[in-house]
Amino acid sequence: GLRADAERIRTEIDASGQALAGLMRDSGGGAGDDEADTGTKNITREHELSLAANAREMLRQTEQALVRLDEGTYGTCENCGNPIGKARLQAFPRAVVTDAALEAV
């Protein structure tokens, strides 16, 4: 499932990159735009940048989980070495549970 997630996220990142390129191209001159049009374009661009950053972070976490899976360390806390609960891994397979995360629970 993690490998399929990684591929899906890569596709999302590519699509987001294309959308951003289009937004940048379309925001060029802005001739005739009023302040509301300009503001809307800026908000849309910022939203796409945020989505792209989130997707890249999720891909990074997924790739780290795949490395841990290959190394045989998947499902263990990176700090204390204790097992991460099955329900937690099913809910969020990229879980890296650390002592700080456990204290927050």
Two tokens, residue 73: 């360390």
What's the whole-model pTM score? 0.65
Q: Is residue 68 part of a domain?
A: no
**Rounded distance between C-alpha atoms, residue 61 and residue 92, angstroms:** 11
Q: Which residue has the higher pLDDT, 44 or 96?
A: 44
3-state secondary structure of 80: coil
Q: How many structural domains are present in the chain?
A: 2
Report the pLDDT value the prediction gives residue 96, as an integer from 0 to 100.
67
Q: Is residue 70 part of a domain?
A: no
Kindly report, residue by residue over 24-43, the tens digit of the pLDDT: 776 655 556 677 777 777 78
Residue 3 CB-half CA count within 13 A? 2
Alpha helices in the chain (DSSP H): 2-26, 35-71, 86-91, 99-104
Q: Is residue 51 part of a domain?
A: yes
Do residue 35 and residue 79 come from a single domain? no
pLDDT at residue 102 tops 70: no
| Exposure string over 29-60, b if 16+ CB within 10 A, otherwise e | eeeeeeeeeeeebeeebeebeebbeebeebbe
Do residue 52 and residue 90 come from a single domain? no
Domain span at 85: 75-105
Report the pLDDT value the prediction gives residue 31, as an integer from 0 to 100.
58
Do residue 82 and residue 56 come from a single domain? no
Kindly report, residue by residue over 49-98, the tens digit of the pLDDT: 888 889 998 898 889 889 888 888 888 887 788 888 888 888 888 876 55
